[in-house]
């Protein structure tokens, strides 16, 4: 994922038009535009596309949001079409997450680590990047755990073999001489 070379030079946040002062307050969208993290978050409460290029920034709808909306719909505080739209976005989100999970499953752990490092360094904070980071972190941690338990198992195996040799070998020798 060669993203770092494609980041355009953009001195100020296009939402509030103020410069970036602290490195941590800067955030990148999936379309490689930069904003203050707080500015973008506020913007995405209303819209779901990039303020500069209108690139659709995926905003995942949670199950809690859907059930809260369903309750509102039951009380006639929400129209059926709005609820339907939310459900569709929820389903789409599940599909996107599953696809990304499958993609990460297929990658080698070394490539996942590299991609994770790039994403983390660029400080993407749109929903999709957060999901990517979460999935990659999970995979890296699982792999580390698996390696550790394999190592533990090997240590135990060596110990058992050594123990068996220690117990049985001295007894086996006199017998074989007879």
Check binding of 53 to Zn ion (CB under 5 A).
yes
* Minimal distance, residue 31 CB to Zn ion, in Å: 3
* Minimal distance, residue 28 CB to Zn ion, in Å: 9
Q: Looking at beta carbons only, is 15 or 66 nearer to Zn ion?
A: 15
- Residue among 3, 30, 52, 58 that touches Zn ion (CB under 5 A): 52
Q: In the structure encoding, which two tokens stand for residue 159, read together? A: 């110990």
**Residues 72-101 within binding reach of Zn ion (CB under 5 A):** none
- Residue where the block lists tokens 């941590």: 24
* Minimal distance, residue 149 CB to Zn ion, in Å: 44
- The number of residues that bind Zn ion (CB under 5 A) is 11
- Residue among 55, 72, 101, 125 that touches Zn ion (CB under 5 A): 55
* Minimal distance, residue 50 CB to Zn ion, in Å: 3
**Residues 8-47 within binding reach of Zn ion (CB under 5 A):** 13, 15-16, 31, 33, 36, 39
What are the residues binding Zn ion (CB under 5 A)?
A: 13, 15-16, 31, 33, 36, 39, 50, 52-53, 55
């Amino acid at each position: 994922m060669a993203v770092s070379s494609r980041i355009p030079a953009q001195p100020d946040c296009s939402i509030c038009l103020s410069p970036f002062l602290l490195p941590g307050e800067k955030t990148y969208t999936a379309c490689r535009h930069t904003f203050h993290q707080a500015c973008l978050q506020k913007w995405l409460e209303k819209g779901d596309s990039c303020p500069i290029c209108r690139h659709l920034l995926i905003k995942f709808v949670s199950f809690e949001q859907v059930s809260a909306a369903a309750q509102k719909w039951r009380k006639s505080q929400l129209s059926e079409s709005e609820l339907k739209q939310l459900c569709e976005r929820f389903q789409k989100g599940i599909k996107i997450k599953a696809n990304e999970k499958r993609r990460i499953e297929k990658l080698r752990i070394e490539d996942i680590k590299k991609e994770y490092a790039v994403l983390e360094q660029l400080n993407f904070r749109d929903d999709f990047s957060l999901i990517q980071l979460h999935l990659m972190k999970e995979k890296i941690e699982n792999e580390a755990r698996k390696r550790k338990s394999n190592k533990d198992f090997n240590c135990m195996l060596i110990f058992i073999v050594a123990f068996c040799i220690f117990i049985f070998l001295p007894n086996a020798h006199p017998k074989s001489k007879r």
